[in-house]
Amino acid sequence: MKHFINTFLAFAILLPAFMFNSCKKENSDTVDQDKIWTYYEVYYDKNQDKTYARATFKFSNALGTNLQLSAPATVSFNGDVLIFQSALAYYEKQYAGFISGGTFSYTDKDNNTFSNSISGIRTIAFPAIDTIHTANSYTLTWVGDSLRASESVSVWLDGINQNNSEFFYQNNITSHSIICAANQLQNLGNGNGTGWMERVYAPAIQHATSAGGEIKGKYKALNLSTKIAN
Protein backbone atom coordinates (compact mmCIF):
# COMPACT_ATOMS: atom_id res chain seq x y z
CA MET A 1 0.00 0.00 0.00
CA LYS A 2 2.69 2.50 1.00
CA HIS A 3 4.69 1.76 -2.12
CA PHE A 4 1.60 2.33 -4.25
CA ILE A 5 0.88 5.72 -2.69
CA ASN A 6 4.48 6.88 -3.13
CA THR A 7 4.36 5.90 -6.78
CA PHE A 8 1.03 7.68 -7.21
CA LEU A 9 2.40 10.89 -5.73
CA ALA A 10 5.36 10.88 -8.07
CA PHE A 11 3.41 10.22 -11.26
CA ALA A 12 -0.16 11.35 -10.57
CA ILE A 13 -0.34 13.49 -13.67
CA LEU A 14 0.70 10.58 -15.90
CA LEU A 15 -1.18 7.72 -14.26
CA PRO A 16 -4.11 7.46 -16.70
CA ALA A 17 -1.76 7.36 -19.65
CA PHE A 18 0.43 4.72 -17.99
CA MET A 19 -2.56 2.47 -17.38
CA PHE A 20 -3.51 2.35 -21.04
CA ASN A 21 -0.33 3.11 -22.97
CA SER A 22 2.70 2.12 -20.88
CA CYS A 23 3.32 -0.96 -23.02
CA LYS A 24 3.08 0.99 -26.28
CA LYS A 25 6.03 3.02 -27.54
CA GLU A 26 6.99 4.44 -30.88
CA ASN A 27 10.02 6.31 -32.16
CA SER A 28 9.47 10.03 -32.51
CA ASP A 29 10.57 10.07 -36.16
CA THR A 30 7.42 8.12 -37.10
CA VAL A 31 5.11 11.06 -36.27
CA ASP A 32 4.67 14.67 -37.30
CA GLN A 33 7.11 16.61 -35.10
CA ASP A 34 4.52 19.37 -34.58
CA LYS A 35 2.15 16.80 -33.02
CA ILE A 36 4.47 15.82 -30.16
CA TRP A 37 2.97 16.67 -26.76
CA THR A 38 5.53 17.35 -24.00
CA TYR A 39 5.45 17.06 -20.22
CA TYR A 40 8.29 18.39 -18.05
CA GLU A 41 8.61 17.85 -14.32
CA VAL A 42 11.04 18.78 -11.56
CA TYR A 43 10.19 16.55 -8.62
CA TYR A 44 11.82 16.64 -5.17
CA ASP A 45 11.23 13.92 -2.57
CA LYS A 46 12.25 14.99 0.94
CA ASN A 47 12.22 11.37 2.12
CA GLN A 48 15.02 10.57 -0.32
CA ASP A 49 16.53 14.06 -0.49
CA LYS A 50 16.67 13.66 -4.26
CA THR A 51 15.42 15.75 -7.17
CA TYR A 52 14.23 14.15 -10.40
CA ALA A 53 14.15 16.05 -13.68
CA ARG A 54 11.82 14.25 -16.10
CA ALA A 55 10.52 14.75 -19.61
CA THR A 56 7.79 12.76 -21.34
CA PHE A 57 6.85 12.83 -25.02
CA LYS A 58 3.55 11.62 -26.43
CA PHE A 59 1.81 11.73 -29.75
CA SER A 60 -0.93 14.37 -30.02
CA ASN A 61 -1.96 14.73 -26.35
CA ALA A 62 -1.46 13.54 -22.76
CA LEU A 63 -3.16 10.20 -23.48
CA GLY A 64 -1.33 9.59 -26.73
CA THR A 65 1.22 6.93 -27.53
CA ASN A 66 4.53 7.20 -25.66
CA LEU A 67 7.40 8.36 -27.81
CA GLN A 68 11.11 7.63 -27.63
CA LEU A 69 13.18 10.34 -29.27
CA SER A 70 14.92 9.41 -32.48
CA ALA A 71 18.37 10.83 -33.22
CA PRO A 72 19.28 13.60 -33.58
CA ALA A 73 16.48 14.64 -31.18
CA THR A 74 17.59 15.24 -27.58
CA VAL A 75 16.28 16.59 -24.28
CA SER A 76 18.28 18.10 -21.42
CA PHE A 77 17.81 19.81 -18.06
CA ASN A 78 20.20 22.59 -17.06
CA GLY A 79 22.52 21.34 -19.75
CA ASP A 80 22.49 17.70 -18.56
CA VAL A 81 21.20 15.16 -21.08
CA LEU A 82 18.23 13.17 -19.77
CA ILE A 83 18.33 9.38 -20.20
CA PHE A 84 15.36 7.36 -21.47
CA GLN A 85 13.78 5.06 -18.87
CA SER A 86 12.11 2.37 -20.93
CA ALA A 87 9.84 0.89 -18.25
CA LEU A 88 7.88 4.13 -17.75
CA ALA A 89 8.71 5.75 -21.08
CA TYR A 90 10.15 9.03 -19.83
CA TYR A 91 13.53 10.75 -19.78
CA GLU A 92 15.17 11.39 -16.41
CA LYS A 93 18.19 12.61 -14.49
CA GLN A 94 18.51 12.42 -10.71
CA TYR A 95 20.24 14.94 -8.46
CA ALA A 96 21.25 14.90 -4.81
CA GLY A 97 19.41 17.47 -2.70
CA PHE A 98 16.71 19.99 -3.50
CA ILE A 99 16.71 21.85 -6.83
CA SER A 100 14.09 24.59 -6.91
CA GLY A 101 13.93 24.91 -10.69
CA GLY A 102 15.76 24.87 -13.97
CA THR A 103 15.44 24.82 -17.75
CA PHE A 104 14.46 21.97 -20.05
CA SER A 105 15.68 22.10 -23.64
CA TYR A 106 14.15 19.79 -26.24
CA THR A 107 15.37 19.64 -29.84
CA ASP A 108 13.31 17.58 -32.27
CA LYS A 109 14.61 15.67 -35.29
CA ASP A 110 13.97 18.69 -37.51
CA ASN A 111 16.28 20.82 -35.34
CA ASN A 112 13.48 22.87 -33.77
CA THR A 113 14.38 23.73 -30.17
CA PHE A 114 11.88 24.32 -27.35
CA SER A 115 13.12 25.82 -24.09
CA ASN A 116 10.95 25.75 -20.94
CA SER A 117 11.92 26.94 -17.49
CA ILE A 118 10.40 26.58 -14.06
CA SER A 119 11.59 28.33 -10.91
CA GLY A 120 10.55 29.01 -7.35
CA ILE A 121 9.40 25.51 -6.40
CA ARG A 122 8.44 25.96 -2.75
CA THR A 123 8.96 23.68 0.22
CA ILE A 124 6.23 22.23 2.43
CA ALA A 125 6.11 20.06 5.55
CA PHE A 126 3.66 18.50 7.96
CA PRO A 127 3.34 20.18 11.36
CA ALA A 128 3.97 18.06 14.43
CA ILE A 129 0.83 15.93 14.79
CA ASP A 130 0.65 13.51 17.71
CA THR A 131 -2.95 12.40 17.17
CA ILE A 132 -5.68 13.11 14.62
CA HIS A 133 -9.10 12.87 16.25
CA THR A 134 -11.90 11.74 13.96
CA ALA A 135 -14.97 12.95 15.89
CA ASN A 136 -14.71 16.29 14.12
CA SER A 137 -13.11 17.65 10.98
CA TYR A 138 -9.40 18.42 11.28
CA THR A 139 -7.66 21.51 9.92
CA LEU A 140 -4.15 20.61 8.78
CA THR A 141 -2.02 23.75 8.64
CA TRP A 142 1.16 22.99 6.77
CA VAL A 143 4.63 24.39 7.42
CA GLY A 144 5.49 26.58 4.46
CA ASP A 145 4.25 29.49 2.39
CA SER A 146 0.62 30.09 1.53
CA LEU A 147 -0.50 29.10 -1.95
CA ARG A 148 0.13 31.38 -4.92
CA ALA A 149 -1.48 31.23 -8.36
CA SER A 150 -1.00 27.92 -10.19
CA GLU A 151 -0.18 26.05 -6.96
CA SER A 152 -1.98 23.27 -5.13
CA VAL A 153 -1.42 20.99 -2.15
CA SER A 154 -2.58 17.39 -1.92
CA VAL A 155 -2.67 15.24 1.22
CA TRP A 156 -3.28 11.53 1.57
CA LEU A 157 -4.00 9.93 4.97
CA ASP A 158 -3.98 6.18 5.51
CA GLY A 159 -5.03 4.13 8.53
CA ILE A 160 -5.48 0.52 9.60
CA ASN A 161 -9.10 0.17 8.49
CA GLN A 162 -8.95 0.24 4.72
CA ASN A 163 -7.03 -0.60 1.59
CA ASN A 164 -7.09 2.91 0.17
CA SER A 165 -6.07 6.30 1.52
CA GLU A 166 -8.29 9.35 2.02
CA PHE A 167 -7.48 12.27 -0.28
CA PHE A 168 -7.64 15.99 0.55
CA TYR A 169 -6.91 18.88 -1.82
CA GLN A 170 -6.41 22.64 -1.65
CA ASN A 171 -5.78 25.12 -4.48
CA ASN A 172 -7.22 28.39 -3.19
CA ILE A 173 -4.75 31.27 -3.49
CA THR A 174 -3.39 32.45 -0.08
CA SER A 175 -4.53 29.24 1.64
CA HIS A 176 -2.14 27.64 4.10
CA SER A 177 -4.27 24.74 5.34
CA ILE A 178 -6.51 21.85 4.29
CA ILE A 179 -9.72 20.82 6.05
CA CYS A 180 -9.89 17.04 6.46
CA ALA A 181 -13.58 16.12 6.64
CA ALA A 182 -14.76 14.04 9.60
CA ASN A 183 -16.56 11.45 7.46
CA GLN A 184 -13.33 10.72 5.60
CA LEU A 185 -11.22 10.59 8.76
CA GLN A 186 -13.65 8.11 10.30
CA ASN A 187 -12.85 5.69 7.48
CA LEU A 188 -9.26 5.40 8.70
CA GLY A 189 -9.84 3.43 11.92
CA ASN A 190 -8.19 3.94 15.29
CA GLY A 191 -4.50 3.15 15.45
CA ASN A 192 -1.36 4.06 13.56
CA GLY A 193 -1.73 6.46 10.67
CA THR A 194 0.49 7.62 7.84
CA GLY A 195 0.35 10.77 5.75
CA TRP A 196 1.80 11.98 2.45
CA MET A 197 1.78 15.56 1.21
CA GLU A 198 2.77 17.14 -2.07
CA ARG A 199 2.96 20.73 -3.24
CA VAL A 200 2.60 21.28 -7.00
CA TYR A 201 3.39 24.38 -9.03
CA ALA A 202 2.01 24.26 -12.58
CA PRO A 203 2.65 27.46 -14.56
CA ALA A 204 1.83 27.65 -18.25
CA ILE A 205 4.29 25.99 -20.57
CA GLN A 206 6.31 28.58 -22.51
CA HIS A 207 7.35 26.87 -25.74
CA ALA A 208 5.62 23.86 -27.24
CA THR A 209 4.40 22.39 -30.51
CA SER A 210 0.81 22.81 -31.66
CA ALA A 211 0.02 19.74 -29.54
CA GLY A 212 0.87 21.72 -26.39
CA GLY A 213 2.25 20.41 -23.15
CA GLU A 214 2.68 20.96 -19.42
CA ILE A 215 5.44 21.85 -16.97
CA LYS A 216 5.28 21.23 -13.23
CA GLY A 217 7.41 21.56 -10.13
CA LYS A 218 6.63 19.20 -7.26
CA TYR A 219 7.82 19.03 -3.66
CA LYS A 220 6.96 15.92 -1.65
CA ALA A 221 7.11 16.49 2.12
CA LEU A 222 8.65 14.15 4.65
CA ASN A 223 6.06 11.47 5.34
CA LEU A 224 3.91 11.74 8.46
CA SER A 225 3.56 9.09 11.15
CA THR A 226 0.75 9.75 13.62
CA LYS A 227 -2.09 8.22 15.61
CA ILE A 228 -5.75 8.09 14.62
CA ALA A 229 -8.31 8.16 17.45
CA ASN A 230 -11.95 9.08 18.13
Measured in degrees and rounded to the nearest 5, phi and psi for residue 220 equal: -95, 125
Non-local (6+) Cβ contacts of 53 within 8 A are 41, 42, 43, 77, 78, 80, 82, 92, 93, 94, 95, 99, 102, 104
Asked if pLDDT for residue 17 goes beyond 50, the answer is: no
Q: What is the pLDDT of residue 7?
A: 46
Q: Is the pLDDT of residue 153 over 50?
A: yes
Q: What is the CA radius of gyration of the chain?
A: 19
When pLDDT is cut at 50, 70 and 90, the band that residue 164 belongs to is: confident
The CA angle 203-145-181, to the nearest 5 degrees, is 90
- The pLDDT value recorded for residue 175 is 98
Amino acid occupying residue 191? G
pLDDT at 19 over 80: no
Say what the pTM is: 0.88
